[in-house]
Chains A and B, each alone.
Chain A
């Protein structure tokens, strides 16, 4: 019995040492395999949890349905007006693009995903999606909700993808103030004790007037996030200690605490690129 115990000890210690010293590629492969194995169970459990939550919410919200209906009707009128405005803007935009003879037009494809889990360790602001590389989700793709930017994909296995939210302290997004166009970097600040998600926009030009309520959008610099995605609104403005910049607290527009469905922004392949890739492949296949 004691011999067996020593063997188990030795095997487990060796296993742990090997795992801790694995190269990064092998790490990712093992992680990916484990995630793939657990994903169906996670999806089932998250579906069940969602059903229970919805049931509770619908029971609790019955009294507020009338008010909500009224509010939504008003919102619908506003949104229709906005859509009308946007259509005319889009038409104008298309005409301008044609006039400038843009050779390439960037199309974005939306991949709808369901959130199946949040970070299990509680150290990061991450979510796991039920779509992965098999559906075209790759690392470093923007993840959005109908309200605004949610984050970017970090790792993708064939059927799942991990997303780091903009509220995570490790997240940095190149942004600009929509009204003035001044640039800055939005970084996550985690959650406050009251559960409010806060981000911080640094390196704003000190000479640019910034007001509470100003819209913060992605700048398009850096290559991950396309230009013009709504991040949130300025809540407060502060002077930087160095005196060279100012910084602002930004409240994200997307409700990052209760994400259920999100979209991954995948870049659609340009028809010219696709043709060239196919030609290259054919050429490569020839002896």
Chain B
């Protein structure tokens, strides 16, 4: 049931992320909905669940963009593992923790993906635009990720998936 819910949430999250507007004053940073799902599974579920979510979310993100398959999965896995590594050292249910992880995670994913794409000459962007986009991702990550974590936690509780939670 937990895995089924994760698949559903990731697919719906991908559609939602594609439908969300990307504000130009934030460097057209896309709301990090899929990253939020990965971070939630990194904070509240087991490592294999987080990795599954990261791979699936990354594959969907790459399939729905011009990015080569696997790039986003790789970056999501790295960020998810870092978050999962530090979750025992912080209060995972605190709003501030989720905001911080959301902001840093979104910034790291933006820069990580840019690094991979630029290395392959797949994206051409001005440095100022990349900085603006990273700042935009940080802002959106700090707003969207805590909201998503709350929603997903409520959904998990509602469906009785509490056995997967470590807390």
Contact = CB atoms under 8 A, between A and B. Distances in A.
B70 A41 contact: no
Interface in B36-85: 46-48, 51-52, 55, 59-74, 77
Interface stretch (B20-28, B95-103, B146-154): B20-28
B19 A123 contact: no
Given A5-B46, A30-B69, A123 B51 contact: no
Contact of A4 (B24, B48, B60, B66): B48
B125 A118 contact: no
A259 B22 CA distance: 14
Nearest to A12: B51
A38 B65 CA distance: 13
Interface string A191-220: 111110000000000000000000000000
A5 B77 CA distance: 15
B24 A12 contact: no
Contact of A34 (B51, B64, B126, B133): B64
A245 interface: no
Contacts of A5: 46-48
A244 interface: no
Main secondary structure of the interface of B (DSSP, over half): helix
Interface string A21-52: 01000010011001100100110011001000
A79 interface: no
Interface residues of B, number: 47
A192 B126 CA distance: 11
A15 interface: yes
Contacts of B63: 30-31, 34-35, 38
A30 B58 CA distance: 13
A120 B70 contact: no
B15 A20 contact: no
Given A8-B51, A117-B18, A120-B18, A38 B24 contact: no
Interface string B99-111: 0000000000000
Interface string B1-38: 00000000001101111110010110011100000000
Contacts of B132: 193
Contacts of B74: 16, 20
Contact of B55 (A15, A34, A35, A194): A15
Given A27-B68, A41-B12, A190-B129, A123 B52 contact: no
Contacts of B113: 121, 123
A38 B73 contact: no
Nearest to A187: B124
Contacts of A145: none
A120 B69 contact: no
A130 interface: no
Contacts of A194: 24-25
11 contacts: A15-B55, A19-B73, A31-B63, A35-B63, A42-B18, A119-B18, A119-B30, A121-B66, A122-B28, A126-B66, A194-B24
